[in-house]
Structure 1
Amino acid sequence: MTEMRKEHVKQPGIRERPGPEHLTLPGIDSRPSIDSAALSDVPSDVIIKSRIRYGSTLSACKGLLMEYAKSSSIHGIRYIFEVHRPIYEKVYWLFFTCVSVFFAFALIRSAYFKWKYSPVILGFDETLVPVHKIPFPTITVCPESKIDHFVFNYTDVSRKFLEEYKTHGNISNLSDEDLSYMAAAMHICDPEVVQRFSPLLSELNPPYVDVTQTLIDLSIPKNVTGSFCTWNGRFYLFENILDIVVTDEGICYQFNGMHPKDIYRDEKYISYVDPDIVDFNNYIKMEVPAWNEITGTWSLETGYLNQGQNAYPQRTAYSSAKNGFFAFVKGLQHNFDYDCRRFKKGYKVFFNSPESVPLTSANYILVSHGDEVLVRLLPSYVMSTESLREIPQDQRKCFFNYERELRFFRTYSQNNCQTECLANFTVSRCGCAKFWMPKPEDTPVCGLNDIACYTAAQDELYALHYNQSMTKNVKDKVEMMCNCLPACTSLEYNFEISKAKYDVGKVVRSFREEYEDMGIGTRIVVYFKEQQFTANIVYIRTTLFGVSTLISNCGGIFGLCMGISYFSFLELIYFFCMRICGSFRDRRKNKIHQIPRSRGSARRKTNPSLRS
């Protein structure tokens, strides 16, 4: 039998494949020689496919990696894994690829931390907002003289108290009424006065005192504190336009405050009721047309809805002093008291948004007797965009109204939250609430023996808050006890003041009228400084980094440094998931076909007749 040989004819246009001397068919005991030096002339595609199909497992992985590098859109990868590329070129591209990857991940890390820890930016709003879009502030006037001496002469009683105690060692001439008034006054007197008198009064065991109502009974009446006011160009009596409000400073008078039923979830949470009802149509000059009826609603997040000229809370459309708030208040010499509240004469004036309660620990204006004070308001209005709701609370550092429900208050604000936290902490420590605090209906008001307790509780809470704030700067996961973040939509009132001396006697005589002793007169004028909110007082809280912004930034960084796009990640998934599975399936098929051919070769070796 003659030996049969196939002649290989080279056809034009067809690349010659490697012969068996370069890549033999694999048998059971033999593997293809892929690393031979003769492969330098073999096309890289043939080498890569041969590695994947016929090489060892490690060689197949290398082949798959080469195939990915050859097809990948990532810059520099193809040059590192190219088959016939010189080593120095591979090192060159490896170095710069690593540098690009390093800078890409460094920039992405920076973008990620901005998105995670500071995703909110507070910027200026370019839109001009007219003053009638926001309410006029709630103005709280707190006289420093707290007790009407026609009702209770604290100076005489306190001095008589000390004289008898020093002389006889006990008190016998004070009536129960005087003891009750004295015990109630301890809640508003200076701390050193309380330290002197509280232990002595406790020994006498004064009768039960309704502290809040007693302080209201002792306070100087509204018509004595002030004579008249003007608002939006209309004249009012002081007592007809201001409400009584109980604060930490004692009994104060409030203009444009919201009703307790609109501030608190239940009016029974506060321990007093103001019988007076403010009617803005109850002005003096009746020739001025009346206000329309109040309709619609207002909230800080939605603004005024369907409200006309007579709005609730009140607003103004002009920035002049004539259309602002003016009050003439007076101080009577017989009410000046240097025994209970030392060195404090005049008025403290607070400004806050109508939905909040005034915090006496906040900024205030101290108005002295005999001064004329002009207050120009500069509202600080912070609005929030809808995109801010997508960011977690701990990242945006503020609460929307629906996110933080308070126990006592209908609306969330930082002032309301701090007030509620202090009230809850005081009740937990002392079993009672201070006379001005909101509280559950069954919780008593703190009495004379509890003054030291609620004072210590307040100091303890402030110390805890300070320590937690300092610790949070180091450990971000520390939980704050009150957690009173600012509201995402908030309204505050900054102010500029100017003052001058005011002599009411000389002013009256200048009108050629007889002057009656009206006490020491003081004028307070409050108005908006500007007709519209300019860009320096209207702020908008919006997202600096959202998820879409983060993805866009990361995509831009990847594209700039490495040429990676969305399809580059699909390539990774395709090559290292789908192609791996397909390659291993082909290798198993090749092994199955190699076994019969190997057996046929073995038979030809044993039977020489099969060779011919």
Structure 2
Amino acid sequence: MDLEVTATQMRFSRIIEEYLRNSTLHGARFIVDKDASWIERIFWVVCLVVSWYASWLLIKASLSAFENNAISFVVESSFRDWNTNFPAIIVCESKNMDRIQEVAEQLWGADHDFTLEEVLSEIAFFRGESYHTVHECSGEEVTASCFYSNFSYYAELVRSSCVDSISKCEWNNKPFECCKYFHRMETELGICYAINSMQAGKPKSPKLNMFSNRISGPGALKMELHTEATVFILGTEEVPTLVTPKTDFLVVGPYISFVRYISKRDIENDEEIRQTSVHQRNCRFADENILDVHKFYSYSACTVQCRKDRQMELCNCSSHLSPNSPDWQLCNMDGLECLNRNYEDLSVIIAQWSKRRGRKGLVCDCLPSCTEVDITTVYDSKENLVGNQNPVSRIEVGLIELPTERYKRNLVRGKLDLVVSIGGTTGLFVGASLLSFEEDEVVRDIQLFVKAMPQHSAELAKEEIFQKEAWLYDTLLRKMQTFSNIKWSADCVYTRNDLMVLEDIKLQGFRAAGSTELNEAHMKQLIESVASFHAASLVYEHRTKTNIGQTYGDHLLEITVASEIAWFTTGLSAVLAAIRSLPQYQGTDELSFIDNKLLTIVEEIYEQAAPSKKYRNVLCHRDLWAGNIFFPPEKTGPALLIDFQTCRYTPPASDLNFSLYLNLCSRERKKMERKCIDLYHTHLLQNLSDFGLEELMIAKSELLESYEEFRLFGVVYRAVVATVVKVPAEFVTNDFKYVDRSKVILSYMKTNQEFRTHMEECCVDVMEMALSRANV
């Protein structure tokens, strides 16, 4: 037996020794190296233990960061194309003595005990307390004709219908049928009527389009109410509760006109947020519902559920107004007396620590909604309705302005990031790897290029631009490349909002031109790539039956050329100042033209930045200067395009003008212009023919006509770009880019002859173009 144990131990020892000798773990083979001294072996054992321990600490930190810091909040300000949803407006009747008297007479006759009207009022508009009901209808001395159960029935008898409550509705001054869009909504305040609420009505109930944007302007809702009511202004998933903050509702009564203007900030969620757990993001989406009382989750709906659960715990029943509750759960008179007795414990929501100090209230472990909104009252007014004979109130609720900011919840540490982090840690400290790439026993290295956004970007607009490019690489460009036999961009391996992993095209010998001006051979390679890129756009649209502009317009927003983009307008002002300083334009007529007409003409470029209604549109790169073009090691074959941040859905002529104006001086451009256009047309036809789609070809006449029209774009953009890329880097501060660069440009033109020559050439092109357009 001892010999067998010894043999087993020896076999096990040999297996361990063999494993360590051939292992890729750092230092493992030195531990069993028979030629090494015992000091060396101990050294490597210590190193191995320290490496494993360090690896464990980093893995533990990665797991902790993944669980507790996976989400980041930023503020977005790219508001130009937002569609802002109006808040939910919920009308809850709060008092109606006429209706109470009418119902009381139906129940008990005209000569009834009037204390029963107080009882009926408390039942119909129950707010947690029922002093009169308990006093009159419980105990030894009870009022005759009291009712002791089925309270929800009597409450509904009293409450007014939608038609009797709301009339004369208008959205942006356009009338609509009130009760077609104000839907019934069960709340813990009783039956209410809500418009634009997820919680109200049935799934197929008609919905009013209440979005506001640059075209419609800030939205406003007007209506008249025929009863005393509370008007709640909430997020679309929120519900009225007993403890809704006073800032979120209006208490309205007859003969009064109420006006409230609000500002609204939404929360946008990155698409990958859905991959995280509720614990990680610390919020719930509306469809992640765990409640019985409402169809969709929200913080307020959760507090209603919390109150109902506590009522069931204390009194074995819930309020007769508890929404969507079965009859057997609703309180009778004994239960109502219990609710009244525990009013202080049920009415107020308090924190856990406050409960421990003995304060009475309700502790609710409710998470916020992932899409909750921030609504702030900006303006409130209340005026008497003079001369109005009917007991109505007029309500107007509107956005004071379109939002310019919104919050965004981004995923910064996803599951893949966790795997990469753990894999990198074990690879660095331990030498362990889950994957190896081998073929015929030859190890292959894969080298990639990582493009990352700064961890803490000072300019939010740059984050949005980076995310636009990441989205393009991950979706549209990847799909388009499959419809092209010519490769015109680097392959993308992985993207997320703050990082892109691309193939390293420099390893294949691709290089930038090394000069801001291209030669004829380079221009031919560029034109071939641009034509292939545009052809892929046309083929993709045809094969997928997709209009890129309509389907992906939200991802292709203008980021460089617009009247509200300070980088461009500041540069344009500098160009106009430079033109005005040139000696050849000091005549009276020239100065008058510069001061009164030039700006209006060059601002036509803003229209050319948008999709055309006249010419065929394709996905255009829109930043084809030498730094964004990489050429193959051989002098033939297409170039590769990089930096797709400025992509827009516009006519091909915009890319053609960019290619020629940004990469050639005026003399070379005039010499090569027609040759490049002809070459582009030839390559475009060839690419479309490869897929048997010659019918998609853009006519030469349309191409030439659009090129002439878009020449203004190339001329002006070249001049504006020169004010940034042709000056020393230390000049380009934030003030220079976004506030004023005219003084610096004029000063540099006086001290640097090379810059003056280039700037003067750009300015002359702009002036000649403007004069020719003015004379058309």
Q: TM-score, normalised by structure 2?
A: 0.43
Task: Name the CA shift for 1:223/1:407 in 2 (closer, same or farther; >3 Å).
Answer: closer
CA distance in 1: counterparts of 2:199 and 2:63, whole angstroms: 46
Residues 456-515 of structure 1, C-alpha deviations (whole Å, 9 max, x = no match): 6786679999659999xxxxxxxxx9986566xx5323212123444345xx6xxxxxx3
CA distance in 2: counterparts of 1:503 and 1:465, whole angstroms: 36
Matched letter for residue 351 of structure 1: L
- 1:454 matched to which residue of 2? 339
Q: Following TM superposition, by how much is the alpha carbon of 1:198 offset from its aligned partner in structure 2, in angstroms?
A: 2.5
Write the mapping of 1:3-42 to structure 2, written as runs, cut at 5 A: none
Contact 1:243–1:253 at 8 Å: present in 2 too? yes
Matched letter for residue 233 of structure 2: F
Other structure's SS at 1:140 match: strand
- The yes-or-no answer on 1:182 pairing with 2:69 is no
Q: Following TM superposition, by how much is the alpha carbon of 1:139 offset from its aligned partner in structure 2, in angstroms?
A: 0.8
Point out the structure with max Rg over C-alpha: 1
- Work out which of the residue numbers 231, 237, 248 in structure 2 matches 1:365: 248
Task: Name the CA shift for 1:401/1:149 in 2 (closer, same or farther; >3 Å).
Answer: closer
CA distance in 1: counterparts of 2:332 and 2:111, whole angstroms: 19
- Work out which of the residue numbers 266, 269, 276 in structure 2 matches 1:379: 266
CA distance in 2: counterparts of 1:360 and 1:130, whole angstroms: 38
Which structure ranks higher in relative contact order (CA pairs < 8 Å, sequence separation ≥ 6)? 1
- Work out which of the residue numbers 242, 255, 260 in structure 1 matches 2:195: 255
RMSD: 5.2
Q: TM-score, normalised by structure 1?
A: 0.52
Q: Following TM superposition, by how much is the alpha carbon of 1:316 offset from its aligned partner in structure 2, in angstroms?
A: 2.5
CA distance in 2: counterparts of 1:467 and 1:443, whole angstroms: 31
- The yes-or-no answer on 1:524 pairing with 2:420 is no
CA distance in 1: counterparts of 2:346 and 2:15, whole angstroms: 65
Write the mapping of 1:209-220 to structure 2, written as runs, cut at 5 A: 211-212=151-152, 214-215=154-155, 218=158
Residues 238-258 of structure 1, C-alpha deviations (whole Å, 9 max, x = no match): 677645655434564433346
Other structure's SS at 1:78 match: helix
- 1:52 matched to which residue of 2? none
- The yes-or-no answer on 1:148 pairing with 2:94 is no
- The yes-or-no answer on 1:207 pairing with 2:146 is yes
Task: Name the CA shift for 1:394/1:376 in 2 (closer, same or farther; >3 Å).
Answer: closer
Contact 1:132–1:315 at 8 Å: present in 2 too? no
CA distance in 2: counterparts of 1:186 and 1:551, whole angstroms: 59
- Name which of structure 1's ranges 492-501 and 224-233 shifts more when overlaid on structure 2: 224-233
CA distance in 2: counterparts of 1:252 and 1:142, whole angstroms: 4
Contact 2:196–2:210 at 8 Å: present in 1 too? no
In structure 2, list runs of 5 or more residues that go unmatched: 1-5, 357-362, 437-776
Q: Following TM superposition, by how much is the alpha carbon of 1:557 offset from its aligned partner in structure 2, in angstroms?
A: 0.8
Of all paired residues, the percent bearing the same amino acid is 17
Contact 2:212–2:218 at 8 Å: present in 1 too? no
Contact 2:185–2:193 at 8 Å: present in 1 too? yes
Task: Name the CA shift for 1:450/1:176 in 2 (closer, same or farther; >3 Å).
Answer: farther
- Work out which of the residue numbers 223, 232, 236 in structure 2 matches 1:353: 236
Contact 1:398–1:485 at 8 Å: present in 2 too? yes
- Work out which of the residue numbers 58, 65, 88 in structure 2 matches 1:138: 88
Matched letter for residue 396 of structure 2: I
Other structure's SS at 2:58 match: helix
Write the mapping of 1:78-477 to structure 2, written as runs, cut at 5 A: 78-115=29-66, 117-118=67-68, 120-121=70-71, 123=73, 136-142=86-92, 146-149=95-98, 151-152=100-101, 175-176=111-112, 178-187=114-123, 194-195=130-131, 198-202=134-138, 203-208=142-147, 211-212=151-152, 214-215=154-155, 218=158, 228-235=168-175, 242-243=182-183, 245=185, 247-250=187-190, 252-257=192-197, 262=202, 312=207, 314-318=209-213, 323-327=219-223, 347-353=230-236, 357-363=239-245, 364-367=247-250, 372-382=259-269, 384-385=271-272, 388=275, 407=292, 409-413=294-298, 415-420=300-305, 422-423=307-308, 426-427=311-312, 430=315, 432-439=317-324, 441-443=326-328, 445-455=330-340
Contact 2:199–2:239 at 8 Å: present in 1 too? no
Residues 24-55 of structure 1, C-alpha deviations (whole Å, 9 max, x = no match): xxxxxxxxxxxxxxxxxxxxxxxxxxxxxxx9
Task: Name the CA shift for 1:392/1:120 in 2 (closer, same or farther; >3 Å).
Answer: same
Task: Name the CA shift for 1:567/1:259 in 2 (closer, same or farther; >3 Å).
Answer: closer
- 1:5 matched to which residue of 2? none
Write the mapping of 1:526-541 to structure 2, written as runs, cut at 5 A: 526-527=398-399, 529-530=401-402, 536-539=406-409
CA distance in 2: counterparts of 1:197 and 1:238, whole angstroms: 35
Contact 1:350–1:358 at 8 Å: present in 2 too? no
Contact 1:372–1:502 at 8 Å: present in 2 too? yes
Residues 125-157 of structure 1, C-alpha deviations (whole Å, 9 max, x = no match): 97968988675432113465x133575499xx9
Residues 425-469 of structure 1, C-alpha deviations (whole Å, 9 max, x = no match): 545654544232135554274355432323567866799996599
Paired residues in the alignment total 412
CA distance in 2: counterparts of 1:323 and 1:192, whole angstroms: 36
Write the mapping of 1:459-608 to structure 2, written as runs, cut at 5 A: 490-504=370-384, 515-516=387-388, 523-527=395-399, 529-530=401-402, 536-539=406-409, 542=411, 544-546=413-415, 548-566=416-434
- 1:77 matched to which residue of 2? 28
CA distance in 2: counterparts of 1:135 and 1:73, whole angstroms: 58
Contact 2:70–2:413 at 8 Å: present in 1 too? yes
Task: Name the CA shift for 1:448/1:528 in 2 (closer, same or farther; >3 Å).
Answer: farther
In structure 1, list runs of 5 or more residues that go unmatched: 1-54, 158-171, 264-296, 299-310, 336-345, 472-480, 509-514, 569-612
CA distance in 2: counterparts of 1:562 and 1:322, whole angstroms: 59
Matched letter for residue 79 of structure 1: F
Report which of the two has the higher share of helix: 2
Q: Following TM superposition, by how much is the alpha carbon of 1:231 offset from its aligned partner in structure 2, in angstroms?
A: 0.9
Contact 2:126–2:189 at 8 Å: present in 1 too? no
Task: Name the CA shift for 1:174/1:545 in 2 (closer, same or farther; >3 Å).
Answer: same
